[in-house]
């Protein structure tokens, strides 16, 4: 399965890391069965990449995933497939089917290592302390909508003013953290999104937004990522 990194998405994930340390609910969490499918390469690249995104941001799922990885490695792959492989070296007749099975096991093992390595790399990159010396949530605080269900008509983004700021930029992401909308530079600390955006958002789906504050010297502070949902 091919796993590619979309740079925009990866950047959004990097920015989002603070807001996602502790999930408020596990409603969106994948079932262990889906994680097993991921580990055994039985899901599509798209589903796999979605799962990885979730797992890298959800400490609960990361724990479960680690546990499953261990369990799979010890039980299914190491015990099952290495036995097959040992069997295959004993007779020419049995070699073919066994080596075929072994190659599937090896593929799963490699996929699992690749996925775990990728995940660890992401977690290390995302949580690297040099990148986030000060907690961004202490810098630009969002007021609304914050983990809220709002009606389409009343959708307005508001945040606390930051001293000395030149302008703000608001960004909205969908539930996979793909960018949906970016405002022009703003001087005020509130914006009613354009009709085009409000109409394009799907009710009952999770969206995320954040504010970047730009300073005259070129510095930039960011808010954490906050979730909101449209109720109609
Ligand atoms: Zn989760």
What is the residue range of 59's domain? 7-130
For residue 209, the surrounding DSSP H or E stretch is strand 206-214
Q: Which of 87, 114, 130 is the last residue of a domain?
A: 130
Reported confidence tier of residue 111, pLDDT bands at 50, 70, 90 = confident
What's the average model confidence in pLDDT over 56-80?
69
Digit-coded pLDDT (tens) for 197-227: 888 999 999 999 999 999 998 888 888 888 8
- If you measure from the C-alpha of residue 119 to the centroid of ligand 1, how many angstroms do you get, rounded to a whole number? 14
Overall size of the chain counted in residues: 232
- If you measure from the C-alpha of residue 83 to the centroid of ligand 1, how many angstroms do you get, rounded to a whole number? 34
Query: Distance between CA 69 and CA 119 in Å, rounded?
Result: 12
Same domain? 65 vs 37: yes
Digit-coded pLDDT (tens) for 7-25: 455 445 544 544 444 445 6
Query: Distance between CA 93 and CA 19 in Å, rounded?
Result: 57
- Flag whether 1 is in a domain: no
- If you measure from the C-alpha of residue 31 to the centroid of ligand 1, how many angstroms do you get, rounded to a whole number? 9
Same domain? 197 vs 103: no
Q: Which of 100, 130, 160 is the last residue of a domain?
A: 130
Give the CATH number for residue 176: 2.60.40.10
- Flag whether 196 is in a domain: yes
Residue 112 has pLDDT above 60, yes or no: yes
Same domain? 97 vs 162: no
Q: Alpha carbon of 54 to those of 34, 36, 40, 62, 122: distances in Å?
A: 12, 15, 18, 9, 12
């Amino acid at each position: 399965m091919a796993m590619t990194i979309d740079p925009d998405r990866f950047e959004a994930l990097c920015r989002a890391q603070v807001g996602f340390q502790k999930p408020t609910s596990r409603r969106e969490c994948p079932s262990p069965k889906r994680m097993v499918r991921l580990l055994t390469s039985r899901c599509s690249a798209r589903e796999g990449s979605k799962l990885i995104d979730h797992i890298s941001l959800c400490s609960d799922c990361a724990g479960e995933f680690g546990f499953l990885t261990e369990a799979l490695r010890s039980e299914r792959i190491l015990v099952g497939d290495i036995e097959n492989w040992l069997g295959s070296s004993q007779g020419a007749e049995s070699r073919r089917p066994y080596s075929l099975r072994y190659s599937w096991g090896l593929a799963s093992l490699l996929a699992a290592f690749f996925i775990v390595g990728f995940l660890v790399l992401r977690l290390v990159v995302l949580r690297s302390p040099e990148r986030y010396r000060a907690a961004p949530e202490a810098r630009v605080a969002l007021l609304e909508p914050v983990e809220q269900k709002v009606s389409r008509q009343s959708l307005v983004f508001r945040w606390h003013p930051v001293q000395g700021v030149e302008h703000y930029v608001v960004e909205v992401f969908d539930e996979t953290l793909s960018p949906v909308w970016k405002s022009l530079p703003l001087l005020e600390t509130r914006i009613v999104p354009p009709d085009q955006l409000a109409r394009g958002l799907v009710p009952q789906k999770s969206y995320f937004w954040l504010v970047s504050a730009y300073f005259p010297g070129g510095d930039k502070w960011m808010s954490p990522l906050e979730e909101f949902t449209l109720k109609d």
